[in-house]
Structures are given as C-alpha cells and as structure tokens.
Chains A and B, each alone.
Chain A
C-alpha cells in the first residue's frame, strides 16, 4: 500500500473556508437554503461547513441535517449482503428550498443519484446543488457533476480516497491509497 497525502493541516482548513465563502456567494444569508450531509461520511463535512458558516455569519440560521440513502441505492440484491441503514435527521422543510447536498468524495455519482431520490421523499426543493471535498474526476458512471469542489484528483479504480476527520479520526486529512503490486 502506498499513501499520498492530498490535503492536511492548514491547507485542509483553507479548503473548507473557501467552500464556505463560495456557498455564501450563492446563498447570501441562507434564509432559503438548507444543507444535507449524506450518511455515513458526508455528515462530518456538512457539520464542519455548518459550524464554519455560523462563525462567518453569526446572525444567520444555518439549517443542516443528515440524509441516509441506503434504501435508495441501485445495488440492492447485487452485493452479498445488504448495506445497513443509518439515521436520517431532517427536522426542517425542504419544499421550495435550495438544497446543498454534501458528501466527502464524489466518484461514480451513484450515491448522489440515490441521494436525490431519497431527498424527494421529503419534498420538492427549488434547486439542488452538490458540494464535495474530493472530486475523483473522469470516473463517473452517471452524468453528475459537483457545483463546489474542495480538490480534484485524478485516480484509477483500484485506488481509494480516504477522508479523515478530527472529530472521529484525530486529524483532518485526505489520503490517496494505492495498492502496490
């Protein structure tokens, strides 16, 4: 296994801040916007973005929740055992709102397709945007592109991108793992 660190320390922090400022450009005071982190790994980024936004805009009310997509996946009965669900917590209304879907890594785009399906069970948003920390470009299975990107990575299928968070894994890093042959 070979590790390549793509983001860590101050650079990681700067990337998050840049994403926040890009969001503010499009969403002003977030009075008509909500943030949805995709379970299981997107919620850490969503929480981080939300708390960072609160510091930049102290008077704004930033609504953020988590969305589980397990029951909307397209690989049910195609893997050995079904994936287990996580909690969905959306205690606000998304009907007519601008929704920002948040996930850590965008790869094939299948998760995002499921997320759009799952989200529609809660209402019809006015607009949906996608924010990701890592975009593994040129590897999409579906026609889905992000609106806000932390970093772009060129990777091959056998490689893995691992995002770690201070809250659960002690430090903020993005690592590209390659199988050594």
Chain B
C-alpha cells in the first residue's frame, strides 16, 4: 500500500530541476495506476471534474498537445486550447496579458509550450495559476523526460544502473536536458553523442559522458535515445549536409545488427525517417517509440492529478 502522506514537493511542473527523486517515483507509481485505467473499457475517471485547464501553445506540437488534451479529458477536466498562430498574440499582446485574459475566464491550470527558455518560470511568478511546462525553447520538456524514463523502467525493469545514450542535436534540444537531469536523478548513466558543433560546450559539467563516435556510443549503451535535428532552431550551418549527418550519426538496421547486444531504441518524435534513424529501425522490435507515446498519456494524467489535487 502506498504511503498516503506523500505529495509533490512543487506546485508547478516547470522542469525536472524542481523535482526530487521521491516526486518522480510518486509520478511513476501514479502513472502505473492510470495506465491500468487506460486499458479499461471505460477509460475515464471523474477526478478533475471541477478543474479547467488551458493548453497554451506558442509553438507547434502534435504529440504533446494531443497527449495533454487526452490526459485532461480522461481525467474529466474541462479544457480550452489556444494556439499562438491563430490568436491575438500576433496583434502585439504580451504573454502575461494573454494568460491573465485566459485566467479571467476562471481557468485553474495552464499547460504551456513557448519558444523562449524560462517562459514557464517567468509566468509562474506573475500569474495565479498552476503552470505545467510543455517545452520552453531549448531549456526543458519535463513530461517528455518523465515518460522516457517511465518507458525505460517498463522495458528494462528499472532505470538505476542503466546506460542511456542521447544521440543527435543536443545543443537545440530541451528533451536532452530534461532527460539528463531525470535519468541521473534515478541513478542511470548518461552519455551524449553527436557532431562537435551540436554538443554544448559545458555539457560535461552536468556529469555526462561525451562521445563523438556513434559506434562507441552504441556499443556502450543499453538504451539509445535518438533526437531529431532541429532545423527550425538552427540559425547557422552546424554540419555540411543532412546526408553527411545521416551517414555519420544515422542508425540503420545493419549498425544495430552489428552490435553484440540488443539495445533499446527511443525517439521523442517527430521522426525524420532516413536522417537520424531509418524506417526499419523505427519500426523494429527494439524500438519502443510507440510505447513512449502510449505512456505519455498516463504520465501526463499522473502529473495533472498530483498537481491539481493540491488544495487551491
């Protein structure tokens, strides 16, 4: 029986940095139960029936927005959706004004994605609502890291002691930072791998291994988390061509078969098939990409349940 006197140590979910190991275990245990709920004929529970949540997306998203929205609906919350591209933001409204206008309609919680790092932290200091960060620039994407670690735990039994390589565009990735923090907190070893230009200069200060050779990284790891090249954030050329990148850092079936062990392949999506991984790898048995998406709903339900359950 779970210890009933445990709650999250934070009011918002702004980043993995604000969580401790107990929080993460609490989220995982709660997500286990929600995963069970999601496999029932009636997948809905009434917990959040008096909670209203606004999904505020200043940047494009498919998976994260749908996953959050589904998690909210499964918990019976009322939801409203906001996409910056079709809103008054383009008329010059500030972030705080936009959000305060949404809150004036009696909204309890904001799920926000924003292109600027720290947007969630900033907002949490200026508005009276619980904030869940759904990705802020190249800073953090906490729910993605949680669902990645949850998927590793599900596939390999535990996260502690596992070796995880994060491969690709580390410099522009919020998934990388949140994953490093989350996996290390749970006792995993983390390595980052990519072209020198896409590895941040001081990343070693986070206590991760750095490797520039793909084969070395794959031979070392139990789990390879493949990241997409974030073209939209690259203002200059970081490597000569996509073709060259995919020859140096792309994973295909031949490479996987040449390893002397079976490693788990993960990808936070969206996949650029043929660039960071080929189709036969993405669709192989070793890949848990779709499990990640499935677990995403359960993890987000757990996060929303634990945050919204705090007394307002």
Contact = CB atoms under 8 A, between A and B. Distances in A.
Interface stretch (A7-15, A24-32, A71-79, A171-179): A71-79
B309 A77 contact: yes
B36 A81 contact: no
Contacts of A85: 2, 30, 33-34
Interface size class of B (residues with CB under 8 A): 20 to 34
A12 B97 CA distance: 65
Given A86-B1, A88-B36, A122 B41 contact: yes
Interface string B25-64: 0100110011011001110111110110000000000000
Interface string B126-138: 0000000000000
A117 B46 contact: yes
A109 interface: no
B205 interface: no
Contacts of B30: 84-85
Given A72-B46, A81-B7, A86 B309 contact: no
Contact of B45 (A40, A71, A123): A71
Given A117-B46, A121-B42, A86 B2 contact: yes
A122 B40 contact: yes
A76 B46 CA distance: 10
A158 B9 CA distance: 30
Nearest to A72: B46
B40 A121 contact: yes
A81 B37 contact: no
A20 to B, nearest CB: 25
A40 B47 contact: no
Nearest to A95: B41
B312 interface: yes
A87 B29 CA distance: 10
A70 B26 CA distance: 15
B130 to A, nearest CB: 11
Contact of A83 (B4, B41, B42, B308): B4
A103 interface: no
Interface of A: 40, 68, 70-73, 76-88, 117, 121-123
Interface of B: 1-8, 26, 29-30, 33-34, 36-37, 40-42, 44-48, 50-51, 75, 305-306, 308-312
